[in-house]
Amino acid sequence: MKTLTDYQRLRQAEKGLTQQMFLWGHDVRHAQGNALQRFGMSREASSGLQGTSCYRMEWENGVIQLHGAVASWHPHATNAETTTGCVYGRAQKRIRLWKHTRPPVPGDDQGEHARSEECWSAFQPFLRWLIAYETWVLAELGAEWRHSTWRAQFALVKKSPWLAPPEALAWWREHEREKVA
Calpha distance 13→172 (Å, rounded): 8
Structure confidence at residue 172 (pLDDT): 96
Q: Is residue 107 over pLDDT 90?
A: no
Task: Note the pTM of the prediction, 2 decimals.
Answer: 0.92
181 confidence band (pLDDT: 50, 70, 90): very low
Q: Is residue 168 over pLDDT 70?
A: yes
DSSP states of 72-128 as a string?
A: EEEE-GGGTTT--EEEEETTTTEEEEE--SSPPPTTT---B---HHHHHHHHHHHHH
From its phi and psi, is residue 82 left (phi > 0), alpha (psi between -120 and 50) or beta?
alpha
Average pLDDT over the chain, rounded to an integer: 90
Residue whose C-alpha is closest to residue 100's, from 83, 119, 118, 125: 83
Spatial strand order in the sheet of 62-66: 42-45, 53-59, 62-66, 70-75, 85-89, 94-98
The pLDDT tens digits for 110-160 are 899 999 999 999 999 999 999 999 999 999 999 999 999 999 988 886 667
In sequence order, the 6+-apart residues with CB closer than 8 A to the CB of 137 are: 27, 35, 145, 146
Phi, psi for 36 (deg, rounded to 5): -65, -40
Calpha distance 2→84 (Å, rounded): 29
- Is residue 67 within 8 A of residue 46, CB to CB? The reply is yes
